[in-house]
Amino acid sequence: MRYLPLTGDERRQMLATIGAKSVDDLFRDVPEAARLKDAVDLPPMSGEMEVDRALSAMAAKNLPATAAPSFLGAGAYRHFVPAAVDHLIQRGEFLTAYTPYQPEISQGTLQYLFEFQTQVALITGCEVANASMYDGATACAEAVMMAGRITKRNKAVMSGALHPHYRAVAATYARFLGMTLTTPQPDWTKSEDLAGLIDAETACVVVQNPDFFGRLADRKALADACHAVGALLIVVVTEVVSLGAIRSPGAMDADIVAAEGQSLGNALNFGGPTVGLMATRQKFVRQLPGRLVGQTTDVDGRRGFVLTLSTREQHIRRDKATSNICTNSGLCALAFTIHLTMLGEEGFTRMAAVNHANAVKLAERLAGLPGIKVVNDSFFNEFTVRLPKPAAGVVETLAGKGLFAGVPVSRLLPETPGAETLLLVAVTETNTDDDMDRLIDGLKEATR
Amino acid sequence: MSAPAVTITGHRGLQHEEPLIFERDSPGMTGVDLPEPAPVNDRLGGLGRQGRIGLPGLSEPEVVRHYLRLSQKNYAIDAGMYPLGSCTMKHNPRLNEKMARLPGFAGVHPLQPVSTVQGALELIGATGHWLSVLTGMPAVAMSPAAGAHGELTGLMIIRAALEDRGDARKRVLVPESAHGTNPASAAACGYVVESIPANERGRVDLGALKAALGPDVAAFMLTNPNTCGLFESDIIEIAQAVHAAGAFFYCDGANFNAIVGRVRPADLGIDCMHINLHKTFSTPHGGGGPGSGPVVLSAALAPYAPVPYVVSDKNGFRLVESVEESDAKPFGRIKGFHGQVGMFVRALAYMMSLGSDGLRQVAEDAVLNANYLLASLKDTLSVPFEGPCMHEALFDDRFLKDTGVSTLDFAKAMIDEGFHPMTMYFPLVVHGALLMEPTETESKATLDTFIAMVRGLAERAKGGDADYFHGAPRLTPRRRLDETAAARNPILRWSPPAN
Ligand SMILES: Cc1ncc(COP(=O)(O)O)c(C=O)c1O
């Protein structure tokens, strides 16, 4: 077997050194009844070629969004990733390292995470960021728990226009810890009065910007309303490219930002793995979940980096830790940081501008179609349209023709009024004029 | 030893001093050429960004060089043995990476119509099937993002099952040798954690466990093989005692590598177990993740598994994405979308490559390698518990008594010898623990070099050369770093120099 270097002779020699008659001897602490005599009922070993063939056949049963005109978004976005990103993250020194427990031989990982933390802090407009979370949804849930610890309160107000998966994950975490979440009815026809739901026991208010329907809002007044009663404002960002064009959550005085970083450097991967981002104020760092990298010096006085403030973490604090998270999203964070480094200020803001311009172009064309209405006043690269027919059926029909028209709101948020006819349409730098022509033609035909 | 050459640049041959990207900023530069945005009237609702973000500008060659130089400051399993106990740093096959990058997997959006993702759903199902057969457990929750996330999910399932039978319980019992995530996960699930001591054989103290069990205990969480690298030989009795008390038996499956293909957790009386795909099933750890932590479940717990999950019928595969759609009793949702699907591809490629016979051989070779280390080093180092061990060999620091050398110093000297150190000071039940996990992918020749190295260092320590150890490592990109200063005055990001 190609992954197993021991030879039969070596196995015998090693058993002799150990003083065991057979390998079975080494398993003697396993209760007799639980020792399997034979291999389990699964196929035997396969060569690389056979596995490649079988998995390629499975992959071929999918029509990937990267191979068709696609306007899918709702928390996962198709962007163009420069070739250097994937090449660099596959360097064995990055790919096959563990968590950087030995800083002297892990400066590569530690330095890129320090740079990553800085970039995340910069784009979110916050003072500090951690070294990543599993994904945006779990980052959001952890942010709510963190707000609970900071304020020592156990109620949270969740916007109805928060991505339903984020709300559901936060609700799960909250339920088991006895926190109460309040959410107004999700309604795209009006803006929510979240400030009106805040009371003296509110730990935090959670809003998404751009929100689930793609709308933008200034959250400064909401932040003020939170701060007036000692609550925190958490802003969720599911499309980080937006931060190249719109005012950052930090500039709106958010206390914690929880974001999904998939858009930079990372493939769609059917939704995972991706990378959760978490940023906050310096004064709250001791309540942050997850790894943090800090700068220090070595015994020769040279700058270096280490994992730090680990007394927050499970391996030291056990049941009193700020979170149970251990493994996070290191390699996805690397892809994110390399992509953002390649873009730089110029490229990142340009990428955001191209996304927005393409979205505006498409929105204007769609608004001109009979029976179709763009419901957003404002948006970044994703907006909601109302169709004259149920969106799910339209999407299915067009998918059959090799076109991904968008995400039907009814799939994620059936409880919103009029959900059946609503379609979320995302547009990125990857969408060509030709893609847009096909969408326009497709919608005309499917909604006729 | 002659002093290291002092160079003009600070570089040392292949070792480059590499500044931060922010210190390489060439304002206006970019490594990505994008088209001019179309002229439009913006629809940002007056929320356009004002002012610069502060990101540095670098060209593509500068970016490539930066990260390549950083990579050269890392140790990795590709470069050498990484005997980090409990972490299972085994070879990461490149076939896995190639398969995960097939556009038919990597390019699939999570919210495509299910008719266009039948292969992706089949993949989730097939990965779950392998895990289910290997563990003997009838169901699998696939969405947890890592081991700790699997623990939390498993405990939430248990709590949901208990509440459903009107039996809210308060406590979760965790052995003191457990990984920190176990008590942290139990606390995150709203339970009070109680620690169970180990006996003199490095196993759970059965008497103490039985005494702690009672009508308010929801679950007992056991790592098996345990974090001392030992099989819990009383496990059947443990399972019976836990079940007799009406509690569930949770197993931390981080050490499944030792028994895969040879022992099925279901046959041990386990109700629920997470599997770290980035350990047993060779998905790369990437310097800290991503992981993936599917949870296998007994029939009694299966109905409470979180959404989403895949079902299949005559029309093909389908996703159940919300609690409302489910005809079971899911406790809720634990992650966005459908789990770490890209990691499933890698794990499945690995499982298919090894097959049922190869996976059994994995466990045998992992255990053989660890016992070979134990046998070869037991007279040099000190051993807290009798063997045989399973996949990892545990030593304590008695062999360093009166040498002035600590476990940490010893580890730092191993670094200069070209090896990543073992896990240290864990598990907590042993003083100055050194936990070595070679895995099955190390050759005998590598193990022999490692053994000779450890023997040599032990001799040196016992010979009184403590200064050598205190000054180690000397040959690394950085020498010992001041972690106390880092924590006292946390600098967590770069800031522009004040001028
Ligand atoms: C015994 C044990 N349990 C749980 C974990 C947590 O797993 P993860 O890091 O995948 O969250 C680990 C590894 O870190 C471990 O070694």
Helix (H, G, I), strand (E, B) or coil at B117: strand
Note the pLDDT tens digit of each residue in B198-251. 999 999 999 999 999 999 999 999 999 999 999 999 999 999 999 999 999 999
Tell which of B70, B121, B193 to mutate to test the A interface (max A CBs under 10 Å). Answer: B70
| CATH class name, domain B94-351 | alpha beta
* B444, A6 contact by CB (below 8 A): yes
Q: Which of residues 456-485 of B touch A (CB under 8 A)?
A: 473, 476-483, 485
Query: Is the CB–ligand 1 distance for residue A54 below 6 Å?
Result: no
Rounded-to-integer distance, Cα A277 and Cα A263, Å: 12
A343 contacts in chain B (CB < 8 Å):
30-32, 55
Rounded-to-integer distance, Cα A99 and Cα B284, Å: 11
Query: Is the CB–ligand 1 distance for residue A95 below 6 Å?
Result: no
Domain end among A323, A339, A355: A339
Q: Which amino acid is located at B300 in the chain?
A: A
**pLDDT over 80 (residue B115):** yes
Q: Does B148 sit within 8 Å of A268, measured CB to CB? A: no
Rounded-to-integer distance, Cα B480 and Cα B473, Å: 7
Q: Is residue A44 part of a domain?
A: no
Note the pLDDT tens digit of each residue in A415-425. 999 999 999 99
Q: What is the mean pLDDT of residues A212-217?
A: 98
* A171, A228 contact by CB (below 8 A): no
Query: Is the CB–ligand 1 distance for residue B148 below 6 Å?
Result: yes
Pocket test for ligand 1, best of B88, B90, B155, B181 (most atoms within 8 A of CB): B181
Tell which of A41, A134, A238 to mutate to test the B interface (max B CBs under 10 Å). Answer: A134
Q: Which residues of A99-118 are buried (b: 16+ CB within 10 A; e: fewer)?
A: bbbbbbbbbbbbbbbbbbbb
Q: Which amino acid is located at B494 in the chain?
A: W
Rounded-to-integer distance, Cα B342 and Cα A274, Å: 9
- Locus of tokens 């972690």: B483
Threshold 0.95, pTM exceeds: yes
* A284, A300 contact by CB (below 8 A): no
Q: How far is A10 from chain B (nearest CA, A)?
A: 7
* A56, B102 contact by CB (below 8 A): yes
| CA-nearest residue, atom 16 of ligand 1 | B86
* A406, A422 contact by CB (below 8 A): no
Same domain? A276 vs A142: yes
| CATH class name, domain B359-486 | alpha beta
Cβ partners under 8 Å of residue A146, min gap 6: A256, A280, A284, A287, A288, A289, A322
Q: Is residue A24 part of a domain?
A: no
Question: CB-based contact (8 Å) between B496 and chain A?
Answer: no
Q: Is residue A23 part of a domain?
A: no
Q: Does A43 sit within 8 Å of B231, measured CB to CB? A: no
Instruction: Read off the DSSP letter of residue A227.
Output: H
Of A315, A316, A306, A435, the closest CA to residue A366 belongs to A435
Q: Ligand 1: distance of its center to the CA of B407 in Å?
A: 22
A414 contacts in chain B (CB < 8 Å):
324
Domain end among A313, A339, A365: A339
Q: What is the mean pLDDT of residues A18-31?
A: 97
Helix (H, G, I), strand (E, B) or coil at B32: coil
Q: Is residue A22 part of a domain?
A: no
Predicted local distance difference test score (pLDDT) of residue B498: 84
| % of chain A with per-residue pLDDT over 70 | 100
Q: How many CB atoms lie within 10 A of CB A284?
A: 18
Q: Which of residues 109-138 of B touch A (CB under 8 A)?
A: 109-113, 115-120, 122-123, 126, 130, 133-134
Pairing of strands A256-260, A276-280: antiparallel
Query: Is the CB–ligand 1 distance for residue B279 below 6 Å?
Result: no
Domain extents in chain B: 94-351, 359-486
From the CA of B178, give the closest atom in ligand 1: 1
Number of domains in chain A: 2
Same domain? A269 vs A213: yes
Same domain? A224 vs A335: yes
The token pair at B428 is: 């907590």
Rounded-to-integer distance, Cα A146 and Cα A323, Å: 9
A115 contacts in chain B (CB < 8 Å):
20-22, 494
Q: Which residue of A has its CA nearest to B55?
A: A345
Q: Does B485 sit within 8 Å of A296, measured CB to CB? A: yes
**Cross-chain CB nearest to B53 (options A122, A319, A359):** A122
Domain end among A299, A320, A339: A339
The token pair at B99 is: 């398969």
Note the pLDDT tens digit of each residue in B398-427. 999 999 999 999 999 999 999 999 999 999
Q: Does A91 sit within 8 Å of B67, measured CB to CB? A: yes
Instruction: Read off the DSSP letter of residue B381.
Output: S
Predicted local distance difference test score (pLDDT) of residue B5: 67
Residue B272 pairs in a beta bridge with B250, B297
ipTM of predicted complex:
0.98
Same domain? A354 vs A234: no
Same domain? A141 vs A261: yes
Q: Does A271 sit within 8 Å of B478, measured CB to CB? A: no
Same domain? A176 vs A297: yes
Q: What is the mean pLDDT of chain B?
A: 97
**pLDDT over 60 (residue B187):** yes
Domain harbouring A355, CATH code: 3.90.1150.10
Same domain? A329 vs A366: no
Helix (H, G, I), strand (E, B) or coil at A23: helix
Q: Does A429 sit within 8 Å of B288, measured CB to CB? A: no
Query: Is the CB–ligand 1 distance for residue A185 below 6 Å?
Result: no
Q: What is the mean pLDDT of residues A123-139?
A: 98
Q: Which of residues 302-361 of B touch A (CB under 8 A)?
A: 306, 321-322, 324, 331-343, 345, 348-349, 351-361
Same domain? A317 vs A356: no
**pLDDT over 90 (residue B3):** no
Q: Does A296 sit within 8 Å of B332, measured CB to CB? A: no
Q: Does B34 sit within 8 Å of A103, measured CB to CB? A: no
Q: What is the mean pLDDT of residues A246-270?
A: 98
> Helices B444-462 and A8-18: crossing angle, nearest 10°?
30
Note the pLDDT tens digit of each residue in A352-384. 999 999 999 999 999 999 999 999 999 999 999
Helix then strand then coil, % of chain B, to nearest 5: 35, 15, 50
Continuous H helices in A308-329 = 314-317
Of B144, B150, B13, B16, the closest CA to residue B73 belongs to B16
Q: Is residue A91 part of a domain?
A: yes
A78 contacts in chain B (CB < 8 Å):
107, 109
Domain harbouring A99, CATH code: 3.40.640.10
Q: How far is A420 from chain B (nearest CA, A)?
A: 15
Q: How many CB atoms lie within 10 A of CB A281?
A: 15
- Domain range for A272: 83-339
Same domain? A130 vs A205: yes
Q: Does A269 sit within 8 Å of B342, measured CB to CB? A: yes
Long-range contacts of B483-488 (CB under 8 A, 24+ apart): B483/A103, B483/A296, B483/A306, B483/A308, B485/A296, B485/A297, B486/A294, B486/A295, B486/A296, B486/A306, B486/A308, B487/A294, B487/A308, B487/A309, B487/A310, B487/A311
CA B137 to chain centre: 22
Q: What is the mean pLDDT of residues A138-164?
A: 98
Q: Ligand 1: distance of its center to the CA of B96 in Å?
A: 22
* B294, B131 contact by CB (below 8 A): yes
Of A259, A419, A165, A174, the closest CA to residue B307 belongs to A165
Q: Which residue of B has its CA nearest to A61?
A: B119
Query: Is the CB–ligand 1 distance for residue B294 below 6 Å?
Result: no
Note the pLDDT tens digit of each residue in A228-242. 999 999 999 999 999
Predicted local distance difference test score (pLDDT) of residue A448: 85
Predicted local distance difference test score (pLDDT) of residue B4: 58
Helix (H, G, I), strand (E, B) or coil at A382: strand
Q: Is residue A51 part of a domain?
A: no
The token pair at A265 is: 């450097």
Predicted local distance difference test score (pLDDT) of residue B241: 98
Same domain? A351 vs A335: no
Query: Is the CB–ligand 1 distance for residue B179 below 6 Å?
Result: yes
Rounded-to-integer distance, Cα B265 and Cα B392, Å: 19
A304 contacts in chain B (CB < 8 Å):
478, 481
Q: Does A78 sit within 8 Å of B56, measured CB to CB? A: no
Q: Does B109 sit within 8 Å of A70, measured CB to CB? A: yes
Of A183, A134, A195, A176, the closest CA to residue A156 belongs to A183
**pLDDT over 90 (residue B6):** no
Instruction: Please report which helix (H) or strand (E) contains residue B311, including its range.
Output: strand B309-313
Pairing of strands A303-307, B393-395: unpaired
Q: Is residue A373 part of a domain?
A: yes
Same domain? A273 vs A329: yes
* A420, A391 contact by CB (below 8 A): yes
Beta strand segments in A209-353, E = 232-237, 256-260, 276-280, 293-297, 303-307
Same domain? A298 vs A380: no
**Cross-chain CB nearest to B368 (options A23, A360, A400):** A23
Helix (H, G, I), strand (E, B) or coil at A69: coil
The token pair at A283 is: 């004064």
Q: Which amino acid is located at B265 in the chain?
A: P
Q: Do domains B94-351 and B359-486 have the same CATH topology?
A: no
Q: Does B179 sit within 8 Å of A31, measured CB to CB? A: no
The token pair at B128 is: 């779950």
**pLDDT over 80 (residue B2):** no
